[in-house]
Chain A
């Protein structure tokens, strides 16, 4: 049973560029949440997708957008990258209306 997977593992971009990160949820899970973890900090909630719609959103600007596909996989898009967007981006999946969230290994984004 595959756990949550994310791609790519690492990514280097320059300011102003756009980036797309991908997540495949744990088998049977249809709810995907995205978190940003800056160095030395706890994960911060970006948004959550369920049934291909954004169900909840954290305090992140519109530069952060997402999408969920019919197979429940998800993408996180960040436009107009800033140096402060450098972080580990974590995806977590869960069953609908279940409490436990399972995290993927993350994508390390570096913005130069």
Chain B
């Protein structure tokens, strides 16, 4: 079945450094790739997403890149701050139809120390 692999599982950086999280997916038909941030005891919050018709998208300190040929996508956080500490999940939509099931990676615990 569909699968999303996410690396690393934990990531520790110093405040101000950059953080990169990488994901690969298996469903060639996937065309939507969101990233969620989940703080302890809270709901997943969408922080950025990318559709397959673009290779990169940026929103202030956060950027996502997508390589459809290699079936991998990455989250880049620059100038990290302590409040960026959380669990980050990548996901790929099952199939190509909008609004269908999201297949999640296992998450990356990001710790930003000041």
**B1 near A59: Cβ-Cβ < 8 Å:** yes
User: How many of B's residues come within 8 Å of A, CB to CB?
Assistant: 28
- 4 cross-chain pairs, A with B, having the tightest CB-CB distances, nearest first: A42-B104, A45-B101, A103-B43, A97-B98
Indicate with 1 or 0, residue by residue over A38-79, a CB within 8 angstroms of chain B CB atoms: 001111110010000001101100000000000000000000
Give residues in A with beta carbon < 8 Å to B: 4, 31, 33, 35, 40-45, 48, 55-56, 58-59, 90, 92, 94-106
A48 touches B44 (CB 8 A): no
Question: Within 8 Å CB of B44, what residues of A?
Answer: 43, 90, 103
Q: How many A-B residue pairs have CB under 8 A?
A: 69
**A105 to B38 alpha-carbon distance, docked (Å):** 11
Chain B residues positioned under 8 Å from A94 (CB to CB): 99
Chain B residues in 8 Å Cβ range of A33: 101-102
Tell me the bound Cα distance from A84 to B44 in angstroms: 22
How far, in angstroms, from A41 to B46 measured CA to CA in the complex?
A: 17
- Complex Cα–Cα for A94 and B6 (A): 25
Question: Interface of B with A (CB < 8 Å)?
Answer: 1, 4, 6, 32, 34, 36, 42-46, 49, 51, 89, 91, 93-94, 97-107
Contact pick for A100, options B42, B49, B101, CB 8 Å: B49
Instruction: Evaluate contact between A43 and B49: CB separation under 8 angstroms.
Output: no
Measured in the bound complex, the distance between the Cα atoms of B70 and A48 in whole Å is: 29
Nearest-neighbor residue (CB-CB) of B45 within chain A: A103
